[in-house]
Structure 1
Amino acid sequence: MNARQALGRYGEDVAARRLREAGMAVLERNWRCAEGELDIVARDKDALVICEVKTRRTGRGGTFEHPMAAVTPTKSARLRRLASRWLTERWLTRYGQPPRGGVRIDLVGVILPERGGPLVQHARGVA
């Protein structure tokens, strides 16, 4: 695992822990198919939640893009396609009907400052 992958994995661990603390049940992590990957699939009461996790380090002299700015319209469309595929392949084969609370796509941004613990932002319904 390279440094970038390790950073992403750490951010996903932080995000999953934060979602659980908020009362969500994490159903699956790092689900992959030919079209891409979903970082976290969770349940928030009756809603199915697809969570995209973006992790960034702050530091001296480097460029910094806030994690919340990373979900472009193209990325949003891809997340919707992946959510539909996960719903079809995983949820509907088990339960036979869509989740009562619908499907929501959230973004969890994790910022790792030079000092101190991670800063986490959870935006609901971003795509």
Structure 2
Amino acid sequence: MAAKDILGRAGEARAARHLEERGYTILDRNWRCTQGELDIVAIDHGVLAIVEVKTRRSEAYGHPFEAVDARKRRRLWGLAHAWLEAHPDLPRVRAVRLEAIGIVGDPESGALEHLKDLS
């Protein structure tokens, strides 16, 4: 596995722990379909949270949230709909929300930022 993939997986693991500590229930991690991949799918008080995780060693190439632009958000919405279609037995959710977690530095101890609503 490439170093960037190891960094990304470690960041996703920390992000999942961060969400669980805040009361989220993780439903899926690294869910894939023909359209792409969702990093984390979770429930937060009846809201389906689609969470994109970006981990960077530094901000030399920009802040992690810069990678979650309008094009990426449109793709995440499409993936959210595909995930819902693939999980018809999911209890009814009140809403769907896009979120992002950015980690800069060491994935275990670096700065973590959580944006709860990307719409």
Q: Indicate whether the TM-score tops 0.5.
A: yes
1:9 aligned partner, one-letter code: R
Q: 1:30-67 deviations in whole A, cap 9, x for unaligned?
A: 000011000000000110000000001128xxx33101
Equivalent residue for 1:103, pick from 87, 96, 107: 96
User: Is structure 2 residue 68 aligned with structure 1 residue 71?
Assistant: yes
Pairs aligned (count) = 118
Structure 1 residue aligned with 2:57: 57
Structure 2 residue aligned with 1:33: 33
1:58 aligned partner, one-letter code: S
Task: Give ranges in structure 1 of 5+ residues lacking alignment.
Answer: none
* Partner Cα separation in structure 1 for residue 47 and residue 109 of structure 2: 30
* Partner Cα separation in structure 1 for residue 104 and residue 52 of structure 2: 14
State which drifts further: 104-113 or 39-48. 104-113
* Partner Cα separation in structure 2 for residue 108 and residue 65 of structure 1: 15
TM-score between both structures, scaled by the size of structure 1:
0.87
User: Is structure 2 residue 118 aligned with structure 1 residue 126?
Assistant: yes
Structure 1 residue aligned with 2:16: 16
* Partner Cα separation in structure 1 for residue 76 and residue 117 of structure 2: 12
Root mean square deviation, CA, Å: 1.6
Of the two, which has the highest radius of gyration? 1
* Partner Cα separation in structure 2 for residue 2 and residue 23 of structure 1: 32
* Partner Cα separation in structure 2 for residue 71 and residue 3 of structure 1: 21
* Partner Cα separation in structure 2 for residue 64 and residue 76 of structure 1: 20
* Partner Cα separation in structure 1 for residue 72 and residue 53 of structure 2: 12
TM-score between both structures, scaled by the size of structure 2:
0.92
* Partner Cα separation in structure 1 for residue 68 and residue 48 of structure 2: 19
Percentage of pairs with the same residue: 42
Q: CA deviation at 1:98?
A: 4.2
